[in-house]
Structures are given as structure tokens and as C-alpha cells.
Structure 1
Amino acid sequence: MRGSIAQVGKDARPYSIRPFYESAQTTGGGFRYGFTGPSLNLRPEMTTSYEFGTELKFFNDRFGIDATYFKKKSVDQIVQNLRLSYATGFVLMTFNAGEMENSGIELQLNGTPVENSNFRWDVLLNYTKNNSKLTKLPGDVQEFYNSDTWLYGNVRVGSRVDGPLTTFTGYDYQRNDNGDVLINPSTGLPILNTSEWAIVGDRNPDFNIGLTNTFTYKNLSLNFLLDIRKGGDVYNATEHYLTVNGLSKRTLNREEPRIVTGVLKDGLENTANPTQNNIPIDLYRNSSYWASIYPHQSFIEKDVNWVRLRDVTLNYRMPTSIMQRVKFIEDLNVFVTGTDLFLITNYSGLDPVANGNSAAVGGAGGGGLDYGNFPLPRGINFGIRAGF
């Protein structure tokens, strides 16, 4: 059994509390205040973490369990370079932003189902599940979003107070009290609610599993890793771009008039008998149809699953009888490795492992944003590994 409780502090950059002078590069020289204003009430960011776990072994180490539960809470998070009003005499500011929590389970199972003098089969399974929550933002701010993830259309990685840190926010349809989409009676097109950003998806999967199998027969071994994910949403912005430009297969039957499912916003939408939409749309004469019927958030694909063969390696170790003849080499292996050889998924795009940004994007990152992304390539590697 094991357990730990830890608290770690994080400070801001130097000279963040009070204003300081810096050399002026303008004519006449001298000193002046910098762009960053003072933060007289700035407090250190504190993170408190709890972890409890156990490690169990059975059947002479033929089967093992390693389980961990963890929880972290960060308060007074430090956000740098908040833009100020120029009337303050400064441009940027450092301040304490809010609070967040992370918790989850990590489970590892290892076993050796078969073992004899010539053959051995080892199995290693890793299970992870993580949950997050944004518990507080300063003042009356209700959403924190990363502008670098506002790539294409009105969908971005945004976190709302009391919601997960991994959500998408965007514009949703206007709806009646029954949840039906409201239709403009003049155009027959759905009406977007552009006054508020709402949560329209969540990238966080239900769980992730990594399953490794290793088969060893004398000097020959085969090892492969299956990457399994259950749940989590992906924004297929590539498909939206193709659709609104008439390049997607879903636009092929454009000769057929369409009627959008919903109720008319005619004053009866919240009554017991709302008016069902019956306005046909001629796609040849309504160029705004595709962008209206398929707004950006409708391309967030829900509950994306996958099974991916991450890598497989076939290795041959030279027999000891041969290596004894070579005095300066103690061990020699010849191997071939294949990576990402197959993918099974319900995602309609090229690859659900998409990241719309580089690794430099902080916060919740840009994972789950697929806009012009290439799929992970297949790879074949041949190699020799020697021990001297």
C-alpha cells in the first residue's frame, strides 16, 4: 500500500508585484516604466495533490496489479500577459485567475499466461481515466479559452466554470422549450444563437487502454502494442470546409430539395402544437444552405473510438554459441519494427489522433481539432542492436 500528500508552490516572473523602471530606448534615454503593470495583490499558485495506491503480486509473480487513484487541486493560478486598458499607463498584467481540479485512476495489470522452457507469453495492460473541472474564474468571467485553438469557424477549446477543461465551446441552434431547433419562417433555415458560447463537445475520452503482448520462443520474440480509446469528441473541421465549398460527398444529391427538421419561430414554437417546418429549399438557388444547415458545431463527431496497432517488433537474438566466437560483442539482436500499421475507428475523417496546434500551445492543448491534418504515417524500421 502507498499514499502521498504533497503541496507545491509556483511563483510568477520576477518584478511582477510592483512596477519597475527599465532603460528607455527613445531619444534622450533615461528610464521609464515597462509594458507590464503592477500586481500588488498577487499570490503564489498552489497545487495540492493526493495519491493512494496498491501493488499486488500473485502466483509467484505470474500475475500482478498496480492501481492508483490521484487528485490534484490548483488554486490562485497565475495568468500572465492579461491585456489592460491603455488608460492605466500599462499594457499587460499578471494576475491570479482561478481554480481547477484533476482526478483519475491508473490501473496496470501484468501477467504471464504461458511459460515453459522454450516459450513465454507476457501481457501488460494499462488503463487510465482522467477527469478535470474548472471550479473558479476571476470576477464574472464564465469561460476561459485558448485563442490559438480558434482555428476554423466558431468552435474553440473553451472551458466553462463547473465544467471540464477539455470541452469545445461554440454557437448552438436556437431551440424552443422542448429542445426543437427553431427555423426562420422567411428562409426555412435554422437560427443560430450567436449571443452565447455554449459547450458543444468534450474531447476527454471515457478511458484509454494500452495492451502489450510479448511472445518469446527460444531466441525469437514478437512484441506488439494496441492503443485503445473509448469515447471523446473530435472536431472534423476539414469535412466542414469541404461541405460548405461543395466538395464533400454529402453535397452530391444537390438536385433534391431539402426541408430542415425543426419548428418555425412564428410565435407558436413554445405552445402545445408548434408549427413543423415545411419550407423546401432549392439548393441550386440558395448558396447559404450548406453553411446554414451544417454550422461548425455539427461537425463535432461524438464518442469517437479507436483501436490502433501502435507498433509491432519481431526480434531475433543471436545464439550464445555464435556470440562466444566474437570476443568484442556480447549480445547481438536483429529486428524489424512496424508502426501504425492499422486503425479501426468510427471517425469519418482521416485520423482521430489530430492536433490543430503545435506542442507549444499551453493549457488544454489543441488535441481533437482536425483541420487539414495528415494521418499518422505507417513506418517500417530495420535495425541491429549490439552490446559490447
Structure 2
Amino acid sequence: MYIEFRNVNKSFGTYKASDNVNFSLSKGSLSALLGPSGSGKTTILRILAGLETPDSGDIFIDGQRVNDIIPAKRGIGFVFQNYALFRYMTVFDNIAFGMQVKKFPPEQIKQRVNELLKLIGLDGLSGRYPAQLSGGQKQRIAFARAIAPEPKVLLLDEPFAAIDAKVRHELRQWLKNTIKELNITSIFVTHDQEEANEAADEILIVNNGKIEQSGSPISIYKKPVTPFVAQFIGENSLINDYGNFKGFQFNKNFPAAIIRPEFISLFKLQEQIQNTYSAESGIIKTITFRGSYLEIIVTLNNIDLKTIWPNDRELLQPKEKVIVLIRKMYLINTDSVREVENTAITTDNSVII
């Protein structure tokens, strides 16, 4: 593995920012540290960069222990959330800055900067200043400056936070493609699940200084292994009285359940459906337009559940009675997650007309 954290701990007073952190990342991968604010994501990034010193544990880059190596010698490129461009320097000089500090020959600097300007699609803007650039352009310049000295590892701290939604989506795709082309091992910090899912090869879920789970975006979404991950990833309804739903029995070892919108199917009254025994009647409480679909809050047994309804189907109305089928849910306790399916579905093949 190219990057490794082994039993890394870091505290700030009584606050434990990194709690026995262990993970490894392969060369050329783009990984996301995903978690809520204050979870310890940026601390992990800063420890890897050498900007924070761990209280214990070891950090390896390309097989070399780097704990005692100063930041400038670790081969790290860093892209900050606020870009940190030098406003009195041109685009060319901003990109060249790291190479100039490391005493690269002037001709090599010129060649490298011009190559990077073409790579980021801004080769006609070398003489401009940061104030003359858009947010997306500034982010590309910050990226080019970070990789100009050809670092071993690229770190990005909330790289898209200050950019509007459309440009953010375009930059995520651009960043992913560019990193693959350069084959540079990269880690970015984010609290945005969509951002992590779209850009990252691997996601590390961080909570209270711990790595709760790591894996591909789809594996984490489909198979959460801790209660925090099950609640944090995706949209969820947290339910205590899940034993009141047809096809589910309350388990005293799991006092709560999580139901995702896609676990629920809605049908209009008199619509032909299977599994009528496992379905029950609900009432539409609220409808929110979300573009390609409608977000629905449906009340079932005095419990509100969130689900979705395609907007190309016949529209639902508030207070409308509907048929609700819960196909599965995650049961959770303080330590574990169990996926359970509606037991009535497997024994019921009836059809209503």
C-alpha cells in the first residue's frame, strides 16, 4: 500500500481528534475522508502532511515512515479550501511558486507551468491575477500549483466548498479524470456525500476521530457496518416502533430501525400490486419537488416515513390515502447493524385490483 496509518492518535487537550486511526490506500487512488464537521477529517489530512504531529502511531508513504520527516520533504501537495492563491502574483507565478522555492531551473519551471496550464484548460490566462478569475478557475490554479513540483501525494481540504453547484459537479469530474491521468495518490476531505460518491474510488467514513468504515461508495451505501454509517449515509427515517409495521417483529436487542426511502414502495388505491398482505394503508403528509422525483412524507401507523415518487407517474396529493409496502430495514443498536426483510413478502403472492 502507498499510504498507511498505523494506530495513529492525536489529542488537543481533552479532545481526541484521531483515535487509533488505521487505514491504507493504494497508489494512484482518489480517496475521500467523509464525515460531519468536527469528526477529525482535516486532522488526518494535516497529520499526513506533517502539519500536525501525532501523539502516537506511524505514518508511511511509499513504504517510508515519515513521522520525523518535515513537511517540505514529504512530497505532499496541498490544496486548501480557500485556494490560498497569492493575489499579487499572476496565474503563471502562482503555479510556479512551489518550483521556485525548491530551486527548479527557470526553463524547467516555464515548461512545467505551460504544460499544467494546458492540462487545466487555462493556457490563455497565464498573465491574469486571481481577482480576474472565477471560482472554478481559481480552484484549477490551486490544483496546478499543488502538483507543479510533482509531489508523491495530493491532499485537498474541502476543495469544492466555495464553488456553486453546477461548477462543483463539473470540477469533480475534471478532478477525477485528471488525477487518473496523472496517477497521483490523492485524498480529499468533504462532508458532502454526493461529492464523495461521485469522485472517490474509496471512502473513509470518519466519526469522533475514528474510521467507522472504508470501502467503495457502493459497498458502504449497501452494507453499512456501524450504526453511525447506517444513519449518516443516504436519506433515512429513524424509527423506534418498527414492530408495528407488517412483516417486521420487534427485536429487544435492536431498539431502533433505519428505513431508507428506496426501501419503501407506494401505490395508489386500487392499483394492481403484489404482496397485499405485507402492505398497509398510509396517508400522504407532505410532497416536495426535487427535480426528477418527488420527496414524499407518508404517515403509517402514526409514524412519518420519507420515500420518493417518480414525477412521471400520476401525481399524489397531500392527505391522499395510499398503499405502503416496506420491503426491508436496518435494525441498529449501539454497536451493530442488521438488515432484515419483510417476512410477509415471501409468503404472499396475492394481487389486488
- TM-score bucket (shorter structure): under 0.3
Q: Which has the higher contact order (CA 8 A, sep 6+)?
A: 2
Structure ranking higher in strand proportion = 1
Q: TM-score, normalised by structure 2?
A: 0.21
Q: Which protein is richer in helix relative to its size?
A: 2
Q: Which protein shows a greater Rg?
A: 1
